[in-house]
A and B are shown apart, each in its own frame.
Chain A
């Protein structure tokens, strides 16, 4: 049985400047799950000042009626919404491909606490925090412009503010991993007889709202 994934197709993205979107269209994945249709607008800004407003058939819905996956733009309702039109007013974070990557390591940690008690016969553990370390290897300095502004990829990547890093191992969006991160280091090597290589690393940074890490369908 064949299988496996050639890593040469991997795509790596970072997010840019928060941008407002009004009554953005969604596509139904099921009767209760709706996802922002525009794949470039699925990462939602977690800033509480930009709390998304979800509408069903044009009327705002109380937040207790749904859950939001802010990293993949998914609204999951508790009640079936088959046949209804769902739109979202929010701010999204544009995705920008980091084009000079040649390696991407994605290392989540799922921490646990030992809660073994008397009369247990085996170890008992409780899930606690999630964290992530992301390591990239690049062959160039990112001078390409971001968001149509004067900002370059590197200027945004290393501006010491949290941003979403995304690794898509198949490069086709069918299964991507997104995490809020802070860049923690960026060692570089420039041998006279070789090529520049840099190795930025990032650590997880829990956002104000939503989860630090999610996986899902990017496109």
Chain B
């Protein structure tokens, strides 16, 4: 039985109108990092570590193909970054026909690198800001 998921199918989409429209971002790689924070509640008498779940956090890092003004998704990211406004983010590991993850966040990094003998490269980091955990199971509509 075959398995695995080709990374070329993954998609990153952003919305600056509270989810009314979703715009794809031209990316060359995407990293999704949820953090499931916990607190240690071990007490005397326990034989193993006891923990309880506390807050959820999440961030997305993506390398952009840096199509600049030709990429509407990159424009939304940059507008949100320099305007310091929240955007909604959807990450689909298997493409937008499948399930994905969504959260509201702030752009916290958007560096550019321009070497004379290479391509203009940039990446984006978006960290959750909305106070609610990411939703899952979002399917393309």
Contact = CB atoms under 8 A, between A and B. Distances in A.
Interface of A: 3-8, 10, 101-112, 116-117, 120-127, 130, 167, 169-170, 174-175, 177, 211, 213-215
Given A116-B55, A121-B56, A127 B134 contact: no
Interface of B: 26, 55-58, 65-71, 78, 81-82, 84-85, 103, 105-121, 127-134
A124 B106 CA distance: 10
B136 to A, nearest CB: 13
Given A110-B84, A112-B106, A6 B120 contact: yes
Contacts of B55: 116, 120-123
A7 B120 contact: yes
A167 B115 CA distance: 12
A64 B111 CA distance: 34
Given A121-B133, A123-B57, A215-B78, A5 B106 contact: no
Contacts of A121: 55-56, 131-133
Given A213-B82, A215-B78, A122 B112 contact: no
Contacts, number: 135
A5 B103 CA distance: 29
Contacts of A109: 108-109
Nearest to A179: B82
A30 to B, nearest CB: 15
Contact of A127 (B68, B106, B131): B106
Nearest to A6: B119
Most interface-central of B68, B117, B130 (chain A CB within 10 A): B68
Contacts of B58: 122
26 contacts: A3-B67, A3-B70, A3-B71, A4-B66, A5-B67, A5-B119, A10-B120, A103-B113, A103-B114, A104-B112, A104-B113, A106-B111, A107-B111, A112-B108, A112-B127, A121-B55, A122-B56, A122-B103, A123-B128, A124-B129, A125-B106, A126-B129, A130-B84, A169-B112, A211-B82, A213-B82
A4 B68 CA distance: 8
Nearest to B57: A123
